[in-house]
Structure 1
Amino acid sequence: MGWQPAATLDRLRQRAALLAHVRDFFCGRGVLEVETSLLCSSGITDPSIEPLRVQCGQSITGTRFLQTSPEYAMKRLLAAGSGPIYQVAKAFRDGEAGPRHNPEFTLLEWYRPGFDHHQLMREVADLVLSYLGTQPVEYHAYRALFQQELGVDPLTAELDTLQSVARAELDVGGLSGDRDLWLDLLMSHLIEPRLIGRGLCFVYDYPESQAALARVSEVDGMSVGHRFELYVNGLELANGYWELGDAVEQRRRFVADNQRRCVAGQNEQPLDEHLLAALAAGMPDCAGVALGLDRLLMLGAGCEDIRQTLAFDWSRS
């Protein structure tokens, strides 16, 4: 029957216990819990993420967006002097539904002034292990991981080389695209499956073209974006940055995102001028991360489908 919850009552109790565990973890570390708006005046420009639009017509007019992440608002709080903060927040993304995705999901996001991405990775490991129990923890530079697993340097390899590696292992048909498309394909289809059974696997320092909202610097003679992702048993669990604090550079990246959106036939997104003003005013040097709580519950409860962790997934809501 469609009125019944997807998750069992025992699973909902596990969810409640996880939320209590998260709050206890951050309370013990002096990190402030905050709340920010779900309905926002601007969406996200990243072409790989599509926000849900809300058409307003009474007290609020025009188009608003359900947040894909509380990141922008939390950075405004950081610029206002909040200190270390975290949030358990609902987030919404269009077109994402399946065994590991629900259009409405729960994010745990937190920011640590004075941390770089290496320090934050260690805190992420502390949190995840405190919930899942003892497991191995591995840290891999993106470049070294590609060299180790595929014998190719992802920062210097020509497009033809990346295509050849992919075609030798995968049926890609007539697929075409830029270097990042092929790097993403190699990562998701060849490298990620090899991380299964290895505990917590952090991958850090991505190509500069994949920096997103992370700062960029030179490592071993190559420019890299200081971001990281965490995989646990093949499941992508968290995405973090040593945060970019340069308003001019952030605006440039937003504009470049919208240009890529236009080329791909996607809607151009309004820039978040509030965030850009906060960066211009001065956000403290910090690192931040978003972690999928539904997915963490999947791992802790041994679920194969995200719907088993939700009272009502999108098809029942």
Structure 2
Amino acid sequence: MRDYPSPQYPARCKRTHRICELQSGAFAVVAGRLVTRDSLSDETGTVCLCFDTAYEAKTGDIVEVEGRFKDNGFSVTGLRVLVPSRDGAVPLSQSVQTNLRKRAKIIAGIRRFFDEKGFVEVETPLMVPQPGMEPHLEAFQTMYEMHQFYLHTSPEYAMKRLLAAGFERIYQVCKVFRHEPVGRMHTPEFTMLEWYRAYADYTDIMVDTEYLIAELATDLYGEPVVRTDQCAVDLTPPWERISVREAMLRYAGITADPYSETAAFIRQAGLSTVDKDDPPDVAFFKVFLDRVEPHLGVQKPAILYDYPAPMAALAKRKSNAPDLAERFEVYIAGVELCNAFTELNDPDEQRQRLEEEAAQRVREGNPAYPIDERFLAALEYGMPPSGGIALGVDRLIMLLTGASSISEVMAFPMSDQ
């Protein structure tokens, strides 16, 4: 029987300097991992080791080394193994580690941006009795004391309750959960940024978004530019603004509305793209994903605005065009980044829309969720005119780091589980 604690795993380390702090000629004790037989790495860099004596250590071991740094090498006078390395996979590649450090800087930059503008950072429950009602989303379920709960798909309902309570500028960075397949830009657990402004509308949120992302890129690279393998996108505000109808006409040659003129929409789209029996939302997305989305945000980010009203159950309809909703999305290099509204605050209309979505969920064979009566009660009390947005943080970091998928900017993505 082996005695514990094992002397192979000492509890103390005598490190005096990190590698980036070494000074020529000065005695130091450094610690890190042997990446080769004669080089040591810690979080801050790598240094070459110069040995006059053989030591019992192998590549991969975590060691403590004492000596002096000179001529870009570390002259070793003593070495102790702190943790022997056994065979096993490297937990994270160097490129992912670099992306994670950038991720931390980006999230800190997000908080700084909103804090400087007088927003209050809030936290709302991840486990809720009523999830979002969107027909295309499925929530994860759990039980607590014999009651059904869900992991939230968005903090939107709770944050709007805070608007009704009197908060005027709020933001939140949190995990959200959606039962969906893992892909290049999708994973069941991801990070969302949401912010809301009272006494504002979706045009104010457009401006926030432009300046936030431009500032984050400038913090990283000294200029407001995102570079991908295909293009360099200038993030300098203002960005292109194009309505959904304009985009459909420009890129797909379609003038008909998918909801009020479904047959004409399908005819204009052509049966090579859609099926004659497709419901309006399915027909719309087939055309949009195939012909429109790839063109958006190639040289400048594109703000795509004014969606058909049935596609925005939580947004206000336009007063001069009630078949449209004040909703926008941002596209950069063809990537959908966020979804924003002028928020619906009429409690009667909101209840009607939630009931319609609940009925649609049942028709389509999706799980039926209860309506959030506390959210509706907050609207009854009165929520001021507001604008709000949900932005995918992992996708934003993917774009800002030049990664090819969100898994490359996560420490332990679902694809690795």
Same fold judged by TM-score > 0.5?
Answer: yes
Rounded Cα–Cα distance in structure 2 between residues aligned with 1:49 and 1:282 = 28
Residues 2 and 102 from structure 1, CA distance in 2 versus in 1: closer, same or farther, beyond 3 angstroms? Answer: farther
CA displacement 1:20-53 (0-9 Å, x = unmatched):
1001101111111111100001112111111111
Residues 279 and 222 from structure 1, CA distance in 2 versus in 1: closer, same or farther, beyond 3 angstroms? Answer: closer
Rounded Cα–Cα distance in structure 2 between residues aligned with 1:167 and 1:55 = 47
**What amino acid maps onto 2:122 in structure 1?**
V
Query: SS state of the match for residue 8, structure 1?
Result: helix
Q: Higher relative CO (CA 8 A, sep ≥ 6), structure 1 or 2? A: 1
Contact 1:154 1:183 in 2 (8 A): no
91, 97, 114: which one aligns with 1:4: 91
Rounded Cα–Cα distance in structure 1 between residues aligned with 2:89 and 2:364 = 37
**What amino acid maps onto 2:91 in structure 1?**
Q
Query: SS state of the match for residue 99, structure 1?
Result: coil
Rounded Cα–Cα distance in structure 2 between residues aligned with 1:106 and 1:161 = 39
Rounded Cα–Cα distance in structure 1 between residues aligned with 2:380 and 2:415 = 42
294, 310, 317: which one aligns with 1:216: 317
**What amino acid maps onto 2:99 in structure 1?**
R
How is 1:220-239 mapped onto 2 (pairs within 5 angstroms)?
221=321, 223-239=323-339
Q: Which residue of 1 aligns with 2:241?
A: 139
Answer yes or no: is 1:280 the counterpart of 2:380: yes
CA displacement 1:138-175 (0-9 Å, x = unmatched):
101112222222232243773233223433663x5x57
Contact 1:3 1:316 in 2 (8 A): no
Residues 3 and 165 from structure 1, CA distance in 2 versus in 1: closer, same or farther, beyond 3 angstroms? Answer: farther
Please state which structure has a larger fraction of its residues in helix.
1
Displacement of 1:241? 0.4
Query: SS state of the match for residue 270, structure 2?
Result: helix
Contact 2:252 2:269 in 1 (8 A): no
Rounded Cα–Cα distance in structure 2 between residues aligned with 1:255 and 1:126 = 37
**What amino acid maps onto 1:229 in structure 2?**
E
148, 160, 163: which one aligns with 1:75: 160
Contact 2:178 2:188 in 1 (8 A): yes
Query: SS state of the match for residue 303, structure 2?
Result: strand
Answer yes or no: is 1:15 the counterpart of 2:116: no
342, 345, 365: which one aligns with 1:242: 342
Q: Which residue of 2 aligns with 1:256?
A: 356
Rounded Cα–Cα distance in structure 2 between residues aligned with 1:182 and 1:51 = 25
Q: Which residue of 2 aligns with 1:113?
A: 198
**What amino acid maps onto 1:74 in structure 2?**
M
How is 1:190-205 mapped onto 2 (pairs within 5 angstroms)?
190-205=291-306
Contact 1:214 1:226 in 2 (8 A): yes
Q: Which residue of 2 aligns with 1:164?
A: 267
The alignment of Structure 1 onto Structure 2 pairs a total of residues equal to 311
CA displacement 1:205-233 (0-9 Å, x = unmatched):
111111220011244x5521111111110
86, 100, 122: which one aligns with 2:185: 100
Displacement of 1:246? 1.1
Contact 1:99 1:305 in 2 (8 A): yes
Displacement of 1:54? 1.1
**What amino acid maps onto 1:251 in structure 2?**
R
CA displacement 1:81-111 (0-9 Å, x = unmatched):
1120000010000024211011000000000
Please state which structure has a larger fraction of its residues in strand.
2
Q: Which residue of 2 aligns with 1:31?
A: 119
How is 1:165-184 mapped onto 2 (pairs within 5 angstroms)?
165-167=268-270, 170=273, 172=274, 176-184=277-285
Rounded Cα–Cα distance in structure 2 between residues aligned with 1:281 and 1:218 = 23
Larger gyration radius, structure 1 or structure 2: 2
Rounded Cα–Cα distance in structure 1 between residues aligned with 2:297 and 2:205 = 22
Tell me the percent identity.
Answer: 36
Rounded Cα–Cα distance in structure 1 between residues aligned with 2:209 and 2:326 = 16
Residues 150 and 222 from structure 1, CA distance in 2 versus in 1: closer, same or farther, beyond 3 angstroms? Answer: farther
Gaps of 5+ in 2: 1-87, 218-223, 226-233
TM-score normalised by structure 1 residue count: 0.92
Rounded Cα–Cα distance in structure 2 between residues aligned with 1:218 and 1:130 = 33
